[in-house]
Amino acid sequence: MTRSKMREKTFQLLFRIEFHQEQELPGQLVYLEEDYLADDGEDVDKDIASESDIAYIEKKAAAIAAHAAEIDSKINAVAKGWKTNRMGKVELAIIRLAVYEIKYDEDIPTGVAINEAVELAKKYGTKDAPSFVNGILAKIV
């Protein structure tokens, strides 16, 4: 599966865990595995075809959760009037993912992280989400 698709699935997991307690992350990971590795003949997303893809997504989501306080601090420092507690859950999950990639993941170029975040915002966010996400990330870089 492509890095873009794995990033999208990581975003979906981050969005999902936003509605649960931190200790429920293992359970959400089980749901992720069931959703994308099931072979029961139903319409399953075949984009995630390997256990290594799931492991990558799990590792990245756990790393983002581990750095959440630092990431939110960086976001809050530049988000005038829109602190993390006021942001939409979709936009917040996308921004957290991108900030993690920019600040902590040396394998991903900053431009790629920003572009992918804007694309996710176009797909999952409101009509204003792409410019909002881009503006926050531009201030962080």
3-state SS, one letter per residue, for 64-113: HHHCHHHHHHHHHHHCCCCCCCCCCHHHHHHHHHHHHHHHHCCCCCHHHH
Task: Report the Cα 58 to chain-centroid distance in Å.
Answer: 11
Domain span at 65:
3-140
How many structural domains are present in the chain? 1
The helix/strand/coil state of 50 is: coil
Residue type, 80: K
pTM equals: 0.84
Over residues 61-92, the pLDDT tens digits come to 889 989 999 999 999 999 988 889 899 999 99
- CATH number assigned to the domain comprising residue 123: 1.10.940.10
Over residues 8-19, the pLDDT tens digits come to 988 988 888 777
Higher pLDDT, 36 or 110: 110
Q: Is the pLDDT of residue 50 over 50?
A: yes
> Using CB atoms within 10 A of its CB, is residue 65 exposed (0-12), middle (13-18) or buried (19+)?
middle
